């Protein structure tokens, strides 16, 4: 093969390869490369396999990806094996092997000879933390033969529902996933917006649908982070909007080449298919037999079919560059899934200028927004940037704005990486929300059971409430409201009065002075640190009047515990973010 016909890497692909090589020269920690859908992960994989000195195994979860990755490697004029039952080949003798994870996991004895030095996992967000999963069993087997096995994952969406980010550290100097993430470092990431701007992907044109949409707002994802099909079907089954939605899709698709429709359920998909032009549309679900599925996909790719309806099966590993209209008729659980769906239409093709995106499910995601990494706490929240007051890192949390002001966020700890001893980095220890250890005073994660500082068992919120309820000189308020008042004390000095009240009218109060810098510092430490809806904010009120005026920034505790001090009651402790066995005031009814 001549040099002119060799595959040419784009600048960001070369950069990704260089970062991977640099990382593995100094570390055996599993790494991740994040590249948007349609950005050419296969070429990056091929180049890394070409450069590798030892044996290489490239895994994917679907036959289409195995075939696609193998083809890119062969484009270099090189030969590699395929180990995939779905492709009718089980070869594992050559230096480079492209395999499906299911086939390899069932035939691990075929991978005993000549230890592998590099394992590449395409769509690595499918790698589970569960030790008995297919990927983890393959990894354990290969590591048994080579403890220094290099493991690289590639994905467009480095996020797993129910788990969060699948890597711990990002090369931009921040922590994304937890300490127990299998992948340790993200060594390269190419933003979707930049790909579109540089002309490497087709521009997505999001168009407001002109007809009635589905309303999924009352649905909430289940415990695994996914919407339940039965609940989705209750919204869409026989919905009066479906005929007009499909009529609009067909009308807008008149001059389009390939149209993909993403349905909410199998029954919904069948209904959609019934409204599409006869002979021009097909339906694929998880139950579609493999041979039939391949035939339908091939007919769509060759444009014998114009419309392809699917239910949650063509969001990854599907490559049809001519697709230029995406119709979304289902809610998406994360911005990652939304990007995967839209990404089906962003590949470049001759004569293709853009991809029309029609969303009939009211999905709230910004296509270009990065994943936050934690479950969305409410539908009216959005990604907000929160600067750490300790290290200055710009964190990304779920939150709420009032104009340009972030008035609330749900971050718990700064995600920034700071320098530690011997040139190493550690996570910044500033916590926005925390649980204080009564033994040593250390701030711990709100979900911690033992103190990270002294290992003492942290006092359980329910234990604290039970103990207070047993005491005759204690008052426990299930807080239903908090009132702020700028007033004066008995000596005529300006004070902030904070009154907590419960459902029965009982109250507890506390007073604060804000006249001197020391008083304002004490107020920030004992009140604002807990009460700010956006903790860590650089807000330093100078008077009681300012606090009252800006009380939208503050939140009330769930419970307040007071103790009698002479003739008065004194607030001793407050419980925020309570999740124990006692009812909250907001749950009355």
What is the Cα–Cα distance from 406 to 507, expressed in whole angstroms? 30
Query: Do 489 and 400 reside in the same domain of the chain?
Result: no
Query: Do 397 and 516 reside in the same domain of the chain?
Result: no
**Largest Cα–Cα separation, the chain:** 94
Does residue 25 lie in a domain region?
yes
Alpha carbon of residue 113 to chain centroid: 38
Is the C-alpha dihedral spanning 547, 548, 552, 554 positive or negative? positive
CATH number of the domain enclosing 213? 3.40.50.300
183 pLDDT exceeds 70? yes
Does residue 481 lie in a domain region?
yes
- CA gyration radius, the chain: 28
Q: Sort strands 55-60 and 89-90 into parallel, antiparallel or unpaired.
A: unpaired
Q: Residues 302-314: pLDDT tens digits? A: 999 999 999 878 7
What value does the mean pLDDT of the chain take?
A: 91
In eight-state DSSP terms, residue 457 is B
Does residue 450 lie in a domain region?
no
Please give the residue range of the domain that contains residue 138: 11-190
End-to-end CA distance of the chain: 75
Query: Do 487 and 547 reside in the same domain of the chain?
Result: yes
pLDDT of residue 5: 63
pLDDT of residue 197: 93
Per-residue pLDDT, averaged over 158-173, amounts to 86
Residues with Cβ within 8 Å of residue 524, at least 6 apart in sequence:
540
In eight-state DSSP terms, residue 82 is E
pTM of the predicted protein model? 0.82
In eight-state DSSP terms, residue 449 is S
405 pLDDT exceeds 60? yes
Q: Tokens 């784009």, residue?
A: 10
Query: Do 523 and 428 reside in the same domain of the chain?
Result: no
Least confident of 321-325, 469-473, 492-496: 469-473
Per-residue pLDDT, averaged over 364-378, amounts to 80
260 sits in the region (left: phi over 0; alpha: psi -120 to 50; else beta) called: beta
Query: Do 85 and 63 reside in the same domain of the chain?
Result: yes
pLDDT of residue 234: 87
Query: Do 220 and 330 reside in the same domain of the chain?
Result: yes
**Do 78 and 94 form a contact (C-beta atoms < 8 A)?**
no
pLDDT of residue 242: 94
Query: Do 554 and 416 reside in the same domain of the chain?
Result: no
Query: Do 248 and 310 reside in the same domain of the chain?
Result: yes
| Number of structural domains in the chain | 4
Query: Do 569 and 551 reside in the same domain of the chain?
Result: yes
Least confident of 29-43, 71-85, 227-241: 227-241
pLDDT of residue 269: 93
Does residue 1 lie in a domain region?
no
Query: Do 69 and 28 reside in the same domain of the chain?
Result: yes
pLDDT of residue 224: 66
Q: Tokens 């059971």, residue?
A: 449
Does residue 347 lie in a domain region?
yes
Residues with Cβ within 8 Å of residue 472, at least 6 apart in sequence:
none
Q: Residues 216-269: pLDDT tens digits? A: 888 877 766 678 888 888 899 888 999 999 999 999 999 999 999 999 999 999
Query: Do 487 and 539 reside in the same domain of the chain?
Result: yes
pLDDT band at 4 (very low <50, low <70, confident <90, very high): very low
Percent helix / strand / coil, the chain, rounded to 5: 30, 30, 45
pLDDT of residue 571: 95
């Amino acid at each position: 093969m001549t040099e002119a016909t060799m595959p040419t890497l784009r600048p960001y692909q070369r950069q990704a390869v260089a970062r991977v090589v640099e990382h593995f020269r100094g570390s055996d920690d599993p790494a991740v490369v994040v590249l948007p859908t349609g950005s050419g992960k296969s070429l990056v994989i091929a180049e890394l396999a070409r450069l590798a000195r030892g044996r290489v195994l490239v895994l994917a979860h679907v036959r289409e990806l195995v075939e696609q990755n193998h083809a890119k490697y062969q484009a270099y004029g090189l030969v590699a094996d395929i180990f995939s039952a779905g492709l009718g080949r089980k070869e594992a003798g050559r230096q480079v092997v492209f395999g499906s994870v299911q086939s390899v996991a069932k035939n691990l004895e075929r991978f005993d000879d000549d230890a592998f030095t590099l394992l590449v996992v395409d769509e690595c967000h499918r790698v589970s933390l569960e030790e008995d999963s297919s990927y983890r069993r393959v990894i354990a087997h290969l590591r048994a033969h080579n403890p220094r096995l290099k493991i690289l994952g590639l994905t467009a969406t480095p996020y797993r529902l129910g788990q969060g980010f699948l890597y711990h550290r990002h090369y931009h100097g921040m922590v994304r996933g937890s300490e127990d993430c299998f992948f340790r470092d993200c060594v390269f990431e190419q933003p979707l917006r930049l790909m579109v701007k540089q002309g490497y992907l087709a521009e997505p044109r999001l168009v407001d649908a002109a007809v009635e949409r589905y309303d999924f707002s009352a649905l909430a994802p289940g415990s695994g982070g996914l919407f339940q099909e039965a609940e989705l079907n209750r919204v869409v089954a026989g919905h009066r909007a479906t005929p007009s939605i499909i009529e609009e899709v067909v009308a807008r698709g008149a001059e389009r080449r390939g149209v993909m429709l993403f349905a909410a359920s199998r029954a919904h998909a069948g209904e959609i298919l019934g409204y599409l032009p006869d002979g021009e549309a097909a339906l694929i679900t998880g139950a579609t037999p493999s041979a039939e599925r391949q035939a339908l996909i091939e007919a769509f790719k060759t444009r014998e079919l114009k419309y392809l309806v699917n239910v949650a099966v063509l969001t990854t590993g599907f490559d049809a560059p001519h697709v230029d209209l995406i119709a979304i008729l289902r809610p998406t659980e994360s911005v990652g899934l939304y990007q995967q769906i839209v990404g089906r239409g962003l590949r470049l093709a001759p004569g293709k200028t853009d991809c029309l995106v029609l969303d009939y499910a009211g999905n709230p995601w910004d296509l270009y927004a990065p994943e936050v990494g934690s479950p969305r706490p409410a539908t009216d929240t959005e990604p907000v940037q929160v600067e750490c007051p300790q290290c200055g890192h710009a964190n990304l949390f779920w939150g709420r704005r009032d104009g340009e002001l972030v008035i609330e966020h749900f971050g718990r700890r700064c995600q920034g990486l700071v320098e530690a001893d011997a040139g190493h980095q550690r996570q910044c220890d500033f916590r926005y929300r925390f649980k204080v250890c009564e033994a040593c005073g250390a701030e711990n994660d709100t979900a911690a059971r033992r103190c990270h500082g002294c290992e003492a068992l942290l006092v359980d919120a329910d234990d604290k409430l039970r103990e207070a309820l047993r005491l005759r000189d204690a008052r426990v308020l299930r807080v239903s409201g908090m009132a702020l008042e700028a007033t004066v004390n008995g000596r005529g000095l300006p004070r902030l009065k904070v009154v907590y009240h419960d459902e029965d009218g009982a109250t507890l109060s506390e007073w604060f002075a804000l006249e001197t810098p020391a008083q304002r510092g004490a107020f920030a430490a004992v009140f604002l640190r807990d009460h700010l809806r956006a903790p860590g904010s650089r807000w330093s009120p100078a008077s009681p009047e300012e606090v009252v005026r800006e009380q939208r920034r503050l939140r009330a505790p769930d419970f307040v515990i007071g103790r009698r001090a002479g003739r008065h009651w004194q607030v001793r402790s407050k419980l925020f973010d309570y999740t124990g066995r006692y009812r909250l005031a907001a749950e009355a009814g």
